[in-house]
Structure 1
Amino acid sequence: MKYKLGDFVRFVDEKMEGFVTRIIDEQMIGVSDEDGFEIPVLASKVTFVHGHEPAREKQNGGGETTATIHSETASESDFGKGVYLGVVNDPKAGSVVHFYLLNDTAFQLLTAMTTEKQQSYKGEYAGLTGPKSGVKIYSAQLADLQLWPAFIFHITYFTTQNSQPPAPVVFNYRFKAKDFSGAKKKLPLLNEMGWMIRLDEPEPIIDAQKLKESFFKSAAEKTEIEKPAGEVDLHIEKLRDDHWSLKASEILAIQLARFHKALDAAIVHQLPEIVFIHGAGNGTLKQELHKALGKHQKVRTFMDARKEKFGYGATKVIFK
Structure 2
Amino acid sequence: MNIGDRVRLLTGREEGIITRLLSDELVEVAIDNDFTIPVSRREIVIVAAEETKAFGKSAASVASEKKAAASGADIAAKAAKKAGIATDASGAKPAAKGESPAPLKADKAQAAPVQKGVYLALTHQSPELLALHLVNHTDRTVLFTLGEEKAGGQYRALKAGTLEAKSASEALGHWHLKDFDQWPALLVQLLPFQFNSPTAFELINKRQQFKAASFYTSRQPNVPVLQREAYLFQLDEKPAVPVALPAAETEQPTDAPAAAKPQAGNKPQGNDKQQLADKLKAQLTGNAPTKPAAVAPAPEPAKALVAPPHEVDLHLEALQPEGGTEGLSNSAILKLQLEAFEDTLSRALATNMHEIVYIHGSGNGTLRKELHKLLSRNRDIKFFEDSMKEKFGYGATLVRLK
Is structure 2 residue 133 aligned with structure 1 residue 97? no
Question: SS of 1:201's equivalent?
Answer: coil
| Structure-2 separation of matches of 1:141 and 1:302 | 30
| CA–CA separation in structure 2 for the residues paired with 1:175 and 1:149 | 8
2: CA distance between counterparts of 1:132 and 1:37? 35
Alignment of 1:231-270 (within 5 A): 270=367
Larger helix fraction of residues: 2
Which residue identity lines up with residue 48 of structure 1 in the other structure?
A: I
Give the 3-state SS of the residue equivalent to 2:368 in structure 1.
coil
How far residue 179 of structure 1 moved from its aligned partner, in angstroms, is: 3.1
**Alignment deviations for residues 261-302 of structure 1 (CA, whole Å, 9 cap, x no partner):** xxxxxxxx8426759xxxxxxxxxxxx946xx6xxxxxxx85
Query: Match of 1:225?
Result: none
2:200 maps to 1:165: yes
Unmatched runs of 5 consecutive residues or more in structure 1 = 58-79, 204-268, 276-287, 294-300, 307-315
Change (3 A) 1:165 1:99: farther
Question: In the TM superposition, what whole-angstrom CA distance separates every residue of 1:175-213 from its partner, at most 9, and x where no partner exists?
Answer: 12223322632323331222211111239xxxxxxxxxx
Counterpart Cα distance in 2 of 1:200 and 1:183: 15
Give the length in aligned residue pairs. Answer: 199
Check if 1:131 corresponds to 2:165.
yes
User: Is the contact made by 2:218 and 2:232 (CA closer than 8 Å) also made in structure 1?
Assistant: no
Flag the 1:40–1:150 CA change in 2: closer, same or farther, 3 A: farther
Partner residue of 1:73?
Answer: none
Give the Å deviation of 1:116.
2.8
Q: Does 1:8 align with 2:1?
A: no
| Contact preservation (8 Å) 1:274, 1:318 | no
The aligned counterpart of 1:189 is 225
> Structure 2 length as normaliser, TM-score?
0.41
Picking from 140, 150, 153, the partner of 1:117 is 150
Q: Larger Cα Rg: Structure 1 or Structure 2?
A: 2
One-letter amino acid of the counterpart of residue 271, structure 1:
R
Does structure 1 residue 271 correspond to structure 2 residue 372?
no
231, 236, 258: which one pairs with 1:200? 236
Any conservation in 1 of the 2:16–2:33 contact (CA below 8 Å)?
no
Residues 45 and 124 (structure 1), Cα distance of their counterparts in 2 relative to 1, 3 Å cut: farther
Q: Deviations over 1:59-103 (max 9, x none)?
A: xxxxxxxxxxxxxxxxxxxxx94211122223xx23222222111
Q: Which ranges of structure 2 fall in alignment gaps of 5 or more residues? A: 62-114, 240-365, 374-380, 391-395
Structure number with the higher strand fraction is 1
Task: Give distance in 2, aligned partners of 1:289 and 1:167.
Answer: 23
8 Å CA contact retained: 1:184, 1:195? yes
Do the aligned partners of 1:110 and 1:155 also contact (CA within 8 Å) in 2? yes
RCO higher in 1 or 2 (8 Å CA, sep ≥ 6)? 1
